[in-house]
Chain A
Amino acid sequence: MNNSKYSDSALLLFFIIMVVAGPFLLAPFGGSYPDLLQKFAIFGIFAIGFNILFGLTGYLSFGHAVFLGVGSYGAVWMFKLLSYNVLPALVVAVVVAGFFSVVIGYISLRRSGIYFSILTLAFAQMMFNVAYSVATPITNGETGLQIYNDDPQWLQGADSPLTTNLFGLKMNEVFWRPEFLGFEAQFNVGYYFCAFFLIIAFYLALRITRSPFGMMLRAIKTNQNRLNFTGVSTRPYMLAAFVISGMYAGLAGGLWACMDPLAGAERMQWTASGEVVLMTILGGAGTMLGPVLGAGFIKYFEAIFSKINDQVLHSWFAFMPDGMENVMVAIVHPFVGKGWHLTLGLLFMMIVIFLPGGLIGGLTSLGRVLTGRGRKSKG
């Protein structure tokens, strides 16, 4: 209980600066284009929300992509029925995800530990199948839900843009393309729209973590049984944490649909739920910055590694003699392009083994070594 007032404000300020300067910061790494920047913000929100459940209470959900998926479906339905305006879409996304998380959370939280994880996993797989085949009239099955010319769009104005927008401000518009250190940085409306919500999401998560409510959640992680004997009914606390994190996922899903008005069942597959677990652990579960960092890390490597093909590899190893070059390409080939998950798996294993606190834990120890004193953790 040290005075966290100033360090928290500093943390928030640092976060805002990093997010706002995102397009510049990522330009030298080839990451400054709208699609990737938007993914950073969207999955950052998803991971922050997931961390409220997993990081604070220790309950590992393997079904959070369900809430992201239903958020996307809800948002696209708003585009189909009302208009391309993103606000109603986001509100509906969060509400629908909240509803689903109350139902799934209420049932899954009857058990704890591994049984809770299995229940959420079962729900995720059921919901995926419902979206993929059973509820085809609502989800448009394997094609995915998209907007057609004959959709009603009752509130769509005659001269408003035919793409997702905030009162005329188009999400896909790139409004500034400056040169930065010899690389092009792209400033995009959609990214800043998502970034706005990312900052709010971060701020709310910070407040929740520092509240008496957040303290109860941390106590659940440490010793839930003791908390019951202390006079606390832990079930409603768990359900509240589950629903809050589900609504974060719904917001992320809604924003994803706002950036690209599509929703597909693959968004709720269990691998997608697993990805957010990886993001949170990779960055550092239970820390404030960790989940966002983990989300950025995975999305960046997904974008970079999956684009490397044999041609690129040959150009990398062109300096070698021909035989060597082919051998090197053959060795590296399985780890890039479609096989980038192999690289991710290796990175994940190395981080879990060598940096148990995730990237944030690693950075904190590095900072401690460099400054030669016991510095406080950043998150």
Chain B
Amino acid sequence: MQILEVKGVNKRFGGLQALNDVNLSVSEGSVHAIIGPNGAGKSTLLNCFIGRLNPDSGSVTFDGKSLLGMKPHEINQVGVSRVFQTPEIFVDLTVLENVMIPALAHRDGAFKLNPFKRMRQETAIRAKAIDVLEDIGLEDKIDMTASSMSRGDKRRLEMAMGLVQDPKLLLLDEPTAGMSRADTNNTIDVLKHIGDSRGITMVIIEHDMHVVFSLADKISVLAQGTVIVEDVPGNIKGNPKVQEAYLGTTN
């Protein structure tokens, strides 16, 4: 079943056609990577999924519902969680609190007035958060203030914040950007583990080929605002169109 369907999306910024008739479909339970050289329109496309940008034309349908025109919190509430390129976390709060907040939002919806409920009685939410933190390898840092973590740990914390919501779709924007080789490999392992154990559908935007080929079930190559190829990883590397997009013309 296709959980995310993007049809004929166009987006123009002044004289620049950032997205040109983009079509994309992501099947449930798969890991779908979107790759492409700088300026290909990857981030623009992602922003169209999450309500930051509205495309000029076309449709973005998730699980039978159109995402266009929805507010960011509404998109999250239908089951799309996002991991940002630069870590967006609650820096003044502890690691555990950072993960409990999305868990509460998932359970209670967009707004719940419960000023007299005790946080310490939220044992189910706490257990769930700790469970995810264990999965992602941060269980010994739960009482740490988020701002004092290393950059790599912050990114892993963000993944935990997305995962704890049991999303139907997890959007990852360059999950390994700026990471050392060791951290990158570690992140790949974590994502593989999540994909296998939780069966979450993931869309990964990435330009690190190593990451993409280790994880993705399917790859869409974006160049100059258009999807030039959509195929399984094995067929991507040898594809002349892809080589052209990345390395320039070969003849």
Shortest Cβ distance from A235 into B: residue: B111
Which chain B positions have C-beta within 8 A of A236?
A: 111, 113
Asked if A212 and B117 make an inter-chain contact with CB atoms under 8 angstroms apart, the answer reads yes
Kindly state the separation between the CA atoms of A214 and B92 in the bound complex, as whole angstroms: 14
Asked if B76 and A210 make an inter-chain contact with CB atoms under 8 angstroms apart, the answer reads no
- Set A231, A233, A237, A244: member contacting B102, Cβ < 8 A: A231
Interface residues of B in 91-138 (CB under 8 A from A): 91-94, 96-97, 100-102, 104-106, 108-120, 122, 126
Question: How extensive is the interface on chain B, given as a class?
Answer: 35 or more
Shortest Cβ distance from A244 into B: residue: B115
Kindly state the separation between the CA atoms of A278 and B110 in the bound complex, as whole angstroms: 34
Tell me, rounded to whole Å, the shortest Cβ–Cβ distance linking A212 to chain B.
5
Interface residues of B in 139-153 (CB under 8 A from A): 142-143
Asked if B119 and A229 make an inter-chain contact with CB atoms under 8 angstroms apart, the answer reads no
Tell me, rounded to whole Å, the shortest Cβ–Cβ distance linking B205 to chain A.
16
Which chain A positions have C-beta within 8 A of B72?
A: 228-229
Q: A3-B120, A231-B165, A233-B73 are in contact. Are A207 and B115 (CB under 8 A)?
A: yes
In the complex, whether B88 has a CB less than 8 A from a CB of chain A is yes
Tell me, rounded to whole Å, the shortest Cβ–Cβ distance linking B132 to chain A.
14
Q: A3-B120, A210-B120, A231-B102 are in contact. Are A218 and B110 (CB under 8 A)?
A: no
Kindly state the separation between the CA atoms of A222 and B118 in the bound complex, as whole angstroms: 21
In the complex, whether B34 has a CB less than 8 A from a CB of chain A is no
Asked if B73 and A226 make an inter-chain contact with CB atoms under 8 angstroms apart, the answer reads no
Asked if A207 and B76 make an inter-chain contact with CB atoms under 8 angstroms apart, the answer reads no
Q: A211-B117, A213-B113, A240-B113 are in contact. Are A231 and B105 (CB under 8 A)?
A: yes
Kindly state the separation between the CA atoms of A83 and B143 in the bound complex, as whole angstroms: 55
Asked if A211 and B101 make an inter-chain contact with CB atoms under 8 angstroms apart, the answer reads no
User: Could you list which residues of chain A lie within 8 angstroms of chain B, going by C-beta atoms?
Assistant: 1-5, 204, 207-208, 210-216, 218-219, 221-223, 225-234, 236-237, 240, 244
Chain A to chain B contacts (Cβ below 8 Å), 16 pairs: A1-B97, A1-B143, A207-B115, A212-B117, A213-B115, A215-B100, A215-B101, A216-B104, A228-B72, A229-B72, A229-B73, A230-B73, A230-B105, A231-B73, A231-B76, A234-B73
A222-B92, A223-B88 known; 8 new pairs, CB 8 Å cut-off, are A1-B96, A215-B100, A215-B119, A218-B93, A228-B72, A229-B84, A233-B110, A233-B111
